């Protein structure tokens, strides 16, 4: 079969660890569970471990691959399985909103899936957030520690900027862990699969996304600082109190909704980011 042809080796410089364990591949595909009419977009298909089963099951798939050396083998391996559309581009430069608008559906939204390169997983997540309105859901495999941060509750050591930014805009559900031995080459860390479902923007209620993002970034910039000190460049203690929060709290004690309330209060007063 063409999928068994010679494949380029993983590139350490790109953080490539290819999933090879069939049982975990099947679990990922089952988690995605594509339905007729879905517009699937896979980030970093690599050697096609998830690509081919999804294509065989769904019949149509768009993939975003940065490594040129992987594209020809990927296309050859997909012959006879369905229609594969390849976007040769850095995923951080891909406009998911345009991809969704081009799908021809009455409700243009895409479903993202991928074994994300661990060295740029957070930038990819933040990039996806910028296009959350165009995304129905995301099923990603990442470093387990990152998934734990994504889903962490307030008050814990791993709760931070990533937790707040994602949970404010999405429902975050860890699905299952994946051991290093399921990959080639094996990473030095455990992995995990997580599902993110963007919330309806109307229910999220962030008045100024840039201001919200800056408040979260500054609040967690130096975790030992209180809100009063960490946010002194953006607001005064009285502003924090007016939003119903205690200025002497540290950022990790606040839920995502608290950050939204503070950001909206400042936005309503005309306060903004300094740059």
As annotated, the binding site includes: 17, 19, 44, 65, 90, 115
Helix (H) or strand (E) holding 164, with range, is helix 161-169
Token pair for 88: 């040769």
> Do strands 110-115 and 40-43 pair parallel, antiparallel, or not at all (unpaired)?
parallel
Helix (H) or strand (E) holding 130, with range, is helix 121-130
Place of tokens 């012959």: 79
Summarize the annotated binding site for S-adenosyl-L-methionine as residue ranges. 17, 19, 44, 65, 90, 115
**HSE (side-chain half, CA atoms, 13 Å) at 242:** 12
Do 209 and 264 contact (CB within 8 A), yes or no?
Answer: no
Distance CA 264, CA 275 (A): 18
- Residue 123: which residues within 8 A CB-CB, separation 6 or more? 92
Distance CA 262, CA 25 (A): 42
Do 245 and 260 contact (CB within 8 A), yes or no?
Answer: no
Distance CA 84, CA 211 (A): 39
Distance CA 153, CA 145 (A): 14
Do 166 and 125 contact (CB within 8 A), yes or no?
Answer: yes
Do 70 and 87 contact (CB within 8 A), yes or no?
Answer: no
Distance CA 127, CA 116 (A): 13
């Amino acid at each position: 079969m063409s999928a068994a042809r010679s494949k380029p080796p993983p590139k350490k410089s790109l953080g490539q660890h290819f999933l090879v364990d069939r049982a975990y591949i099947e679990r990922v595909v089952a988690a995605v569970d594509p339905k007729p009419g879905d517009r699937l977009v896979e980030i970093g298909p690599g050697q096609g471990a998830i690509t081919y089963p999804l294509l065989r099951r769904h019949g149509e798939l768009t993939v975003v691959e940065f490594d040129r050396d992987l594209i020809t083998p990927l296309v050859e391996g997909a012959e006879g399985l369905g229609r594969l559309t390849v976007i040769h581009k850095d995923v951080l430069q891909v406009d998911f909103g345009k991809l969704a608008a081009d799908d021809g559906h009455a409700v243009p939204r895409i479903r993202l899936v991928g074994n994300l390169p661990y060295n740029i997983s957070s930038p990819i997540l933040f990039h996806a957030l910028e296009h959350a309105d165009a995304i129905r859901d995301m099923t990603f495999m990442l470093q387990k520690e990152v998934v734990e941060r994504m889903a962490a509750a307030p008050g814990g050591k791993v709760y931070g900027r990533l937790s707040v930014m994602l949970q404010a805009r999405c429902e975050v559900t860890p699905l299952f862990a994946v051991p290093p031995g399921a990959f080639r080459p094996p990473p030095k860390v455990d992995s995990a699969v997580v599902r993110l479902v963007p919330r309806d923007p109307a229910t999220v209620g962030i008045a100024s996304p840039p201001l919200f993002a800056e408040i979260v970034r500054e609040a967690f910039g130096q975790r030992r600082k209180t809100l009063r000190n960490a946010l002194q460049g953006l607001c005064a203690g009285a502003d924090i109190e007016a939003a119903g929060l205690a200025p002497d709290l540290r950022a990790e004690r606040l839920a995502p909704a608290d950050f939204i309330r503070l950001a909206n209060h400042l936005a309503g007063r005309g306060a903004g980011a300094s740059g």
